[in-house]
Structure 1
Amino acid sequence: MCSRREQSLLSVASECQRSASERPTAQEIMNICFPSAVTNDIPREDINHCISLDEETLESTEPLNGSELLQIESESLEETQLSDETMRTDIVACSLQDEGSLVVQSLQDISRFSRLREISERYLLNSNGGSSLHDIGCIPEWHYRRDFPHPGETVMAVIDGKFLTGNRGRNEMYITDSASGELLQTAIFPDSSATYDGIFISDGKIFSVFVDKGTWQLSVHTYSLTDDKWTLVFRRPPNIELAAIALTLVGDRIFIAGGYNRRMEKLANVFMFSTTTREWLLLPSMPTARCSCSNFIYNGSICYAAGVENEGVRSKAVELMSLEDYEWTSLPSTMAAGGAVRTIHGTLVATGGVDDSGTVSRRVEFWGYHQKSWMPLPKLSQGRFGHGMAVDVDGDYSRIIVTGGYDKNRHMTSTVEVIEF
């Protein structure tokens, strides 16, 4: 149930809606709908440019360095403990047999996207001094919520009205009430030598990535909120050096991209593990080597955005890898580098980062697929980079949450900001 303030915001949003004559035309709807569906059953001939990590490759004992091939011990593949059904994900347009829901989802996204576009137009008009009081009242603002317990909490997801956060230097995950900001429980990973490398949600399940500080062995686990129990999904063999990766689940496929090795070299490698064939493949590399990048499903592709490149350069790159043929395409770069990027209402939203002058940015922008450019939204209350970001959508109510990271003085912050529209 919405709070009184949330109901008020929804009322304002309703008053600001465009007339029926300004809604997208049928042709616009067709142009915006996802062009293709994604299937999990990819014929072998369609991925002949991917490198299979066969027995001959597995014989190597050298660790992964830069662009060298991944070495896998075949015995380690037996450690996968989740069934194929567990690995299903609620990705839009992942079934050719359900095209009806694809159209409905796209229509909903168009209606909500029009709201983003309207906010942007009113925000620009207000910035130029041309808005009326009514227009200003229709522009949502960022609001502070209660600070999180630990400065620098940057890994974040939202599930069942709860924030999930963690620090990469700790082996704890924090579960916080999304409405009150109160800490509900602390989930402590039993291996004290492992630190968090990421948290993500798939099919209503919580997945956490850990890296052992001594061996650099990477492992993925699920966590049960009700039982406070960790379950191993899979573990990479000891001779693999990877941290700050981007990990994505799509049906029976697990994708691992980027990261850095023990020598702090940023990597562009992309690997896929099939839970059906229990086989690892080396896919075409990311155009930009980087670690700690945002990653999510967008329009039938995995989108990799922002992150940190070699020499500590913060990235503006936004790159898409097709889930059909694993080919790469690029979108125009974000205005600020090293921010956080997520998908909402069929488009992308980027927050914060560092601009070209080195100033920590308050910028918020979304990808306008009609304009083929990044469009401004109301700015953050404070500039930040290296932060966490999550999107929460419930019916007509949407909000974006950012937390942690570094402020304009390069100090770790524990503040939380929310915008509702």
Structure 2
Amino acid sequence: MEVPSVKDFQWKRLAPLPSRRVYCSLLETGGQIYAIGGCDDNGVPMDCFEVYSPEADQWTALPPLPTARAGVAVTALGKRIMVIGGVGTSQLPLKVVEMYNIDEGKWKKRSGLREAAMGISVTAKDYRVYAAGGMGLDLRPHNHLQHYDMLKDMWVSLAPMPTPRYAATSFLRGSKIYVLGGRQSKYAVNAFEVFDIETRSWTKFPNIPCKRAFSSFVTLDNRLYSLGGLRQGRLYRQPKFLRTMDVFDMEQGGWLKMERSFFLKKRRADFVAGSLSGRVIVAGGLGNQPTVLETAEAFHPGKNKWETLPAMPTPRCACSSIVLKNCLLAVGGVNQGLSNAVEALCVSDA
């Protein structure tokens, strides 16, 4: 596939969210984007639930969440949307699980988690949901791996993760669930572990070379990119925003040695990231500047080079993001106050 020039990328302003928010969860199914929950200007979890139609460029309100919450784990099972855990209006983790039937337009409560948790990582395969990690009511990270069987409406415990954590990134590749990074208490972890669904066992992969918080992970072809982030301060070490890019080769099973010339142009954390048309994209976030970043960059794997993209129309950090077709959407987030902006970075011939 020919990699597009940076001149082929442009930002589009889309219909804004009906209300300002942060920490909402996004899900694409059937070509529509669903926005689920989030926090309002006062930091209170919301029960809002909307669907975005790309064809009409319009958000439509749907029946609200039965349980208001933010930072939920979400997945699609056919024409059902499953909402798991998160933070409730009491500012405590939840064990509540609810499912929305798209055809019926109704919510239904499902069997709850074994323990209340926020920051769960979720993947789904063959109508089975796998929920990894999380942080419980005691604020300790979990090592749980739970499997939900929709036909039986039941959660079953599987082999625990070697490293307890919450807010990890997970993705499915074949019959394996890859779980990277995350946090324990305030601090980032660099563990990289893989669960084999067929053998029901964990394998520890080489740790992420650079430990940092608020970084992003992007998969492209047979490589996994660990991008930017914040190196946290401990003892005599000051916090530091990073340009670091670490690359894991799925075929070789190891992290590649990266020259500093391959690093991001701008130091950034808590930014939007994704892959579009053979390029890795980053946009916005926080850096060394006193305000949020507006800059965006695209990595060309063939040239091992980051190139400057058009700036975000509305600079933000802490956005929710999702890729739809050949567009990377940045939804909500923070710019001084909360934002309801929805903007898409698209390849011009998409």
The answer, yes or no, to whether TM exceeds 0.5 is: yes
Q: Tell me, yes or no, if the aligned pair for 2:145 and 2:161 is still in contact at 8 Å.
A: no
When the two structures are superposed, what TM-score results if normalisation uses the length of structure 1? 0.56
Equivalent pairs, count: 281
Amino acid at match of 1:328: W
Sort the Cα spacing of 1:381 and 1:118 in 2 relative to 1 into closer, same or farther, 3 A. closer
3-state DSSP class of the match of 2:33?
strand
Which one of 246, 254, 263 corresponds to residue 332 of structure 1?
A: 263
- Structure 1 residue aligned with 2:177: 254
When the two structures are superposed, what TM-score results if normalisation uses the length of structure 2? 0.66
Query: Is the deviation greater in 298-307 or in 184-193?
Result: 184-193
- Matches of 2:165 and 2:327 in 1, distance apart? 33
- Structure 1 residue aligned with 2:295: 363
Q: CA deviation at 1:235?
A: 5.5
- Structure 2 residue aligned with 1:380: 312
Q: Are 1:152 and 2:22 counterparts? A: yes
- Matches of 1:204 and 1:317 in 2, distance apart? 37
Q: Mind listing any 5+ residue stretches in structure 1 that lack a counterpart?
A: 1-105, 121-139
Q: CA deviation at 1:183?
A: 3.4
Amino acid at match of 1:159: T
- Matches of 2:282 and 2:342 in 1, distance apart? 16
- Matches of 1:300 and 1:238 in 2, distance apart? 24
- Structure 2 residue aligned with 1:266: 188
Sort the Cα spacing of 1:208 and 1:273 in 2 relative to 1 into closer, same or farther, 3 A. closer
- Structure 1 residue aligned with 2:102: none
- Matches of 1:238 and 1:321 in 2, distance apart? 20
Q: CA deviation at 1:336?
A: 4.1
Q: Are 1:278 and 2:200 counterparts? A: yes
Amino acid at match of 1:176: V
- Matches of 1:223 and 1:293 in 2, distance apart? 32
3-state DSSP class of the match of 2:59?
coil
- Matches of 1:341 and 1:321 in 2, distance apart? 17
RMSD after superposition: 3.7
Greater strand fraction, Structure 1 or Structure 2: 2
Sort the Cα spacing of 1:335 and 1:386 in 2 relative to 1 into closer, same or farther, 3 A. same
Q: Mind listing any 5+ residue stretches in structure 2 that lack a counterpart?
A: 66-81, 86-94, 97-115, 234-238
Q: Tell me, yes or no, if the aligned pair for 2:119 and 2:135 is still in contact at 8 Å.
A: no
- Matches of 1:415 and 1:310 in 2, distance apart? 29
3-state DSSP class of the match of 1:247?
strand
- Structure 2 residue aligned with 1:118: 7
Q: CA deviation at 1:223?
A: 10
1:76-120 CA-to-partner distances (Å, cap 9, x unmatched) read xxxxxxxxxxxxxxxxxxxxxxxxxxxxxx3xxx1xx33x43336
3-state DSSP class of the match of 1:211?
coil
Q: Tell me, yes or no, if the aligned pair for 1:336 and 1:352 is still in contact at 8 Å.
A: no
Task: Give the greater-gyration-radius structure (CA).
Answer: 1
Q: Are 1:343 and 2:275 counterparts? A: yes
3-state DSSP class of the match of 1:118?
helix
- Structure 2 residue aligned with 1:414: 340
Q: Tell me, yes or no, if the aligned pair for 1:306 and 1:318 is still in contact at 8 Å.
A: yes
1:306-336 CA-to-partner distances (Å, cap 9, x unmatched) read 3443236444322221212321124422424
Structure-to-structure mapping, 1:138-287, within 5 angstroms? 140-147=10-17, 149=19, 151-153=21-23, 155-166=25-36, 167=38, 174=49, 176-179=51-54, 180-185=58-63, 186=65, 188-189=83-84, 191-192=95-96, 193-198=116-121, 211-214=134-137, 216-217=141-142, 218-219=144-145, 232=155, 237=160, 241-262=164-185, 264-287=186-209
1:249-296 CA-to-partner distances (Å, cap 9, x unmatched) read 11121111111113x221111111112222212211101113443223
Sort the Cα spacing of 1:284 and 1:238 in 2 relative to 1 into closer, same or farther, 3 A. closer
- Matches of 2:159 and 2:339 in 1, distance apart? 33
Q: Tell me, yes or no, if the aligned pair for 1:248 and 1:256 is still in contact at 8 Å.
A: yes
Q: Tell me, yes or no, if the aligned pair for 2:216 and 2:229 is still in contact at 8 Å.
A: yes
Q: Tell me, yes or no, if the aligned pair for 2:230 and 2:242 is still in contact at 8 Å.
A: yes
3-state DSSP class of the match of 2:6?
helix
- Structure 1 residue aligned with 2:106: none
Q: CA deviation at 1:390?
A: 1.7
Which one of 276, 280, 285 corresponds to residue 353 of structure 1?
A: 285
1:346-390 CA-to-partner distances (Å, cap 9, x unmatched) read 111111122433431111221134553222222111111122222
3-state DSSP class of the match of 2:187?
coil
Q: Tell me, yes or no, if the aligned pair for 1:246 and 1:292 is still in contact at 8 Å.
A: no
